[in-house]
Structure 1
């Protein structure tokens, strides 16, 4: 079964909008796991506009499923990950001030840099994943860095699928098949939702994990967090 990791950045955004501790990020993380999700994802950014670095430290003893920390591997981020030792770190080439992730790594251009960073994380027993576009050259480049997994950047698929273009899945299938051949695990995330997750899951061979935040939290406003998580889990079983 493909695992569901819930990104709780939006919970932190809501908390920070008013100060204080409502909603309680730690309690939400506990609830998400109790409702059946197999992981918690956070993506701290340098300005800490949603997840704060201290949140990562506070969440470490709370997360008993899988803790996934995403981010651009700058010095402060690397130090945080080595301190918290999550089960997985996902490397994302975010620009400072970016609203959200907008592209995967150029794994060819950044091979040396990524190889060095990944080696450090793996020496500390942390599984690594690289955020990549569904481009075969980038998958091959990822394999050369020594990464354990890739995370397919799914915004393009989600946009085209919403327009009725099911063929948008094709480059993702090809990327997944190549990753399987190269012995790289496959994660996916960004704009996956209840509307498209079943189709994506059913077409991607050996999809290990999806990381979903914005859509899931938005859907939960209408049908509740527990119901939303259960719906995702059901679609990932189909």
Structure 2
């Protein structure tokens, strides 16, 4: 194998050590292809919970592992996730979360995630009257009702749903900024970085979902992987 191939293999193995993202996809119209394309290159494993009535279901399934409908519509999967992502948070879903109505399985699972302290990130394009998408559809961001919507969005942030655009979301995920994820959570968890000594004594520690490695520990694992591959 070439050095480039080894490097790609090591990067893939390190990626597998990180918890996946749970992406809950609804049928809301607008920006679907663009958002799907950006998430495809986010550098993280994706588990996809696909709501009923999605016309582009097959395209989403290409992005990662689809969670069975019979599983996620009944309860939040037991997999340790890095965060829950809502690419298409529209106003009805936002209001369901705020009111506690929870009429849909998606709202119920977001409710479960917030209760357990799992960070929840939602793209704001479909619920924010000031977004380009809503303005293209005729929204007037300075209207009285738009002000009511903005106030509701503020309350949504207060209960633990972090609203962002796609660039802000990907920056958090690509940079590996776990501090931002912890701040978005309703509970705090003390994390200790694993050192070279830790992974030398017990390499299995690196595969734990909550594992955070120092740069030196990551380099050590890369070298150990190369030793196993090269004759």
Q: What's the TM-score once normalised by structure 1's chain length?
A: 0.32
Q: Which has the larger radius of gyration?
A: 2
Larger strand share, 1 or 2: 1
